[in-house]
Structure 1
């Protein structure tokens, strides 16, 4: 078991790691923090309606910032506000919640935390394996169980696995050099390192990278196997093994898989707060305006069709038939929906863009939660002197079990199983109760004297994101050879070079980001789209605070042959 912090701790006085994406190392946090704001549109454009498809985090950030500029965002949503930041309540205790999608947010995601802080949301450390916020961790592989409070408590074998991973990313992928450049925001150095790795690594899987590294070749297969099952930061990563190693490097370079916090009360509180917030620095709109008030407290219905009308505007037709035309639109929903659930006019995107949209690869993901009467895992076993249960990583069906509570005097939550891809698909045909039965059976093998069932109250909550027709997966994760597709999707917001008939519709959201799976990417692509709309409507960035589109040539993702 290894954590990025074991070899990325700053020296005294050094700046922290941020999610400064090596593909486009634009400082979104500084852009947001600048008192000059994000820009302006001509006075004649004030009040202009802008369609925003999707009320997930990216759509709401986009709409919120457009509203502040004096535009009128019109949000369309097929289900509920929040997208994959979805929080469910237990029926028997509505204030006890389970985060079905995003649940842990790295402190390096500074643009994300700009909104968390702006909206005054409370956060708490997330209990990842072997994290300082986690009282204890049990790792159980091949029937052998190990109790640990820190990585130093694990057998030497696990320290060897950790050392092999550290060596692999330093020797093969210039980890230390990249982190030093990210700390100092040396964008030229970030791009030099990253661009030198892109062409070779784009064709490489995660597993191929570790298998071909000298450190793991010398260590042997058992170390690679354990690394996949136990991993680093949040746990096992073997379900990511077929993905491009570029996806993994983006995560570890930026500490995205370490030092996580959760939003107290549930992650959905953030998009809901954006929906209801009344900013003080509004242009055009009266004081007290919010996204909720602009929409009469409810977003529009699901989008059924997107077309160009006879005047060249973007015509949005809702599920129930209402149609409205807009000068410009931002589409933040899962990109596959543009061909599977939304009748989208083909000419809106170039053929190569459609290829990029269609070839996105999604990770399946499943979670199952139960509510328990109290955080009983804090009880001490008199025979061992240890807690009766710990955060658990295993090669059994559950893979990862998390223990979540907000105090000893109230019910608590066990995330019995958090799985990905093949492991998630094993749960897909099973009911919630069937899932819980199998998960408890697995945990019984690890904790034979503990009666977890006696503590469960109410009904379980479960989700399989691949089974949701509005998402069809948890998030995008590129396969080898797909960097070119991502480059097209990400840079689409800077439209100076595209055909006129394809301008004015912008893509944003998790799919478009190079750091999919992290809320930071949803925020930053939403900000890209805001810049695109400003530019399209004849506006400009604020003086002294240039936006992302002005850096796309200098810092943007390069085109591979």
Structure 2
């Protein structure tokens, strides 16, 4: 983790905690071990999303017995809903684009053997073509160079703002080199500088954008950069946006063929090559008799210090440790969680988590008709579309010339998502088709629709209450408390043994890598809680946390 002569790829290496999770996972010595007399000890895992399944998978490999509780669907927000009667044709209701920089996630995705391809983001070769529709004016492009000069001015102004406000080139070079000292020298002062300031403040106060008309900021918010418009994130702390662009989360993204739910399902059924204590062929599925336990209703302490976990049907079981991967609000709304398990400052952090709303609506179509050429213009009949209309983002998924295609008619956030919230799926489809008809008046999308549409509003799901965390200015201290909770030596005994994980605990909410990395933090925490340790030459996150952990802001 020191500077080298050659810069490596951009990965989700920090910047708050620049620990090489991918190297820790790939090391031939393994993650560590627990004493033989603790083999078979049971650990409750609340939630069967990717964080819970990775925690369970790795703890099983160490010889512990994970007991996974799930109140909804295995996979959490890695949810791929199949269209009825169509083999392998899915709507990705949660995570659907996965950056190549998410190296710990791809470690597990590769283990279960999924296939991926480039995601059809705007102005990428995978999209083929892009249409930007703003204030009733439509622009067709295959690359940024095809758009009017104003769009290039916006892109250049954003790059200049990053250089001015975050020393971006030097910062990313340090990340590529995995130069921890240099990375923290640049990043840590930025935490204090930008935690209490918004994304919009960063943009509007930059010299580059101040030199341009307001229209440029408006266009930046509507169609943005990378994957699309960012105006929904304008109220967020600028630190969250810096992390996204620094670590390459908004570029070089991939789509999992057949649905990303294959990754959590694969981990559930996979028997690891290296197992301690358990017989060869053991998997999470086999340890659970084929299905997770019901959802958790209560978490408390037994008089003897163990955890009493009660499921929704009233069955209570004792555990030596708990990993809570559910969204943090559920610990005060859906689960009766004994208050003494966390400090009052930690409860403040958990309750102050702010979730973003998100809505998607999908239809299956008979074929990828959008690739037909308009005889008058020679252009694609329809394109990946960014607009200020109700749909905001429309994505086109080609499953092959002889197979049905999928259109994500509308992918929207916050206030745009709330506009869809009261409506049933048929009304959502009609609203989206009406908006798209204004952009593509000669394209009869509805003539190609087959099967029933699929939709989601994550804020209406009682198991989620929102899509993911979107930290507001001033939330860094809360995030620091939650992320570092796996370091428990300084906690009073009554607060030890329960560990937090999930993307809303991470520094990179909305990206699967954050869920993976916090799950691995929890694995280290549970391992050491049981008296275990990492392997020589392969230190874990907790071994290095005091040395390279996140900067602490004064309370």
Deviations 1:225-256 (A, max 9, x none): 00000111100000000000000000000110
1:493 corresponds, among 475, 486, 496, to 486
Whether the 8 Å CA contact 1:126–1:133 is kept in 2: the answer is yes
Matched residue SS, 2:32? coil
Q: CA RMSD in A?
A: 0.9
Matched residue SS, 1:272? helix
Deviations 1:197-218 (A, max 9, x none): 1112011000011011111111
Where does residue 380 of structure 2 map in the other structure?
Answer: 387
- Which structure 1 segments of 5+ residues have no match? 1-11
Alignment of 1:97-176 (within 5 A): 97-176=90-169
Q: Cα offset for 1:117? A: 1.0
CA distance in 2, matches of 1:293, 1:466: 33
Whether the 8 Å CA contact 2:298–2:310 is kept in 1: the answer is yes
Whether the 8 Å CA contact 1:21–1:515 is kept in 2: the answer is no
Matched residue SS, 2:88? strand
CA distance in 1, matches of 2:181, 2:125: 35
Alignment of 1:327-476 (within 5 A): 327-476=320-469
CA distance in 2, matches of 1:516, 1:190: 21
1:235 corresponds, among 228, 239, 245, to 228
Where does residue 69 of structure 2 map in the other structure?
Answer: 76
CA distance in 2, matches of 1:208, 1:133: 33
CA distance in 2, matches of 1:141, 1:14: 39
CA distance in 1, matches of 2:213, 2:522: 46
CA distance in 1, matches of 2:298, 2:362: 36
1:550 paired with 2:543, answer yes
Whether the 8 Å CA contact 2:198–2:472 is kept in 1: the answer is yes
Whether the 8 Å CA contact 2:391–2:435 is kept in 1: the answer is yes
CA distance in 1, matches of 2:89, 2:125: 24
CA distance in 2, matches of 1:348, 1:357: 13
Deviations 1:324-383 (A, max 9, x none): 010111000111000001000000000000000000011100000000000000000000
Matched residue SS, 1:534? helix
Whether the 8 Å CA contact 1:104–1:260 is kept in 2: the answer is yes
Q: Cα offset for 1:498? A: 0.8
1:515 paired with 2:514, answer no
Q: Cα offset for 1:220? A: 2.2
1:54 corresponds, among 47, 53, 56, to 47
Q: Cα offset for 1:94? A: 4.4
Q: Cα offset for 1:555? A: 1.3
Q: Cα offset for 1:406? A: 1.5
2:34 corresponds, among 18, 41, 45, to 41
CA distance in 2, matches of 1:14, 1:486: 30
CA distance in 1, matches of 2:423, 2:521: 40
Whether the 8 Å CA contact 2:363–2:406 is kept in 1: the answer is yes
Whether the 8 Å CA contact 2:487–2:525 is kept in 1: the answer is yes
1:226 paired with 2:192, answer no
CA distance in 2, matches of 1:260, 1:192: 29
1:284 paired with 2:277, answer yes
Where does residue 15 of structure 2 map in the other structure?
Answer: 22
Q: Cα offset for 1:13? A: 6.2
CA distance in 2, matches of 1:515, 1:495: 22
1:537 corresponds, among 518, 530, 533, to 530
CA distance in 1, matches of 2:309, 2:174: 44
1:32 corresponds, among 25, 30, 42, to 25
CA distance in 2, matches of 1:422, 1:224: 19
Where does residue 182 of structure 1 map in the other structure?
Answer: 175
Question: TM-score under structure 1 normalisation?
Answer: 0.97
Matched residue SS, 1:545? coil
CA distance in 2, matches of 1:364, 1:129: 22
CA distance in 2, matches of 1:460, 1:133: 24
Deviations 1:273-304 (A, max 9, x none): 00000111000000000000000001100000
Where does residue 5 of structure 1 map in the other structure?
Answer: none
Matched residue SS, 1:461? strand
Q: Cα offset for 1:484? A: 0.2
Where does residue 471 of structure 2 map in the other structure?
Answer: 478
Whether the 8 Å CA contact 2:7–2:173 is kept in 1: the answer is no
Whether the 8 Å CA contact 1:368–1:463 is kept in 2: the answer is yes
Matched residue SS, 1:286? coil
CA distance in 2, matches of 1:13, 1:496: 38
Matched residue SS, 1:301? coil
Matched residue SS, 2:110? helix
CA distance in 1, matches of 2:88, 2:505: 34
Q: Cα offset for 1:509? A: 0.5
1:201 paired with 2:194, answer yes
- Which structure 2 segments of 5+ residues have no match? none
Between the two proteins, the alignment pairs up a number of residues equal to: 550
Matched residue SS, 1:256? coil
Q: Cα offset for 1:436? A: 0.5
Deviations 1:500-534 (A, max 9, x none): 11000000011100001000011000000000001
Q: After the TM superposition, which segments of 4 or more aligned residues of structure 1 sit over 3 Å from their partners?
A: none
Deviations 1:73-120 (A, max 9, x none): 000000111000001011142431011000000000100000011111
Matched residue SS, 1:520? helix
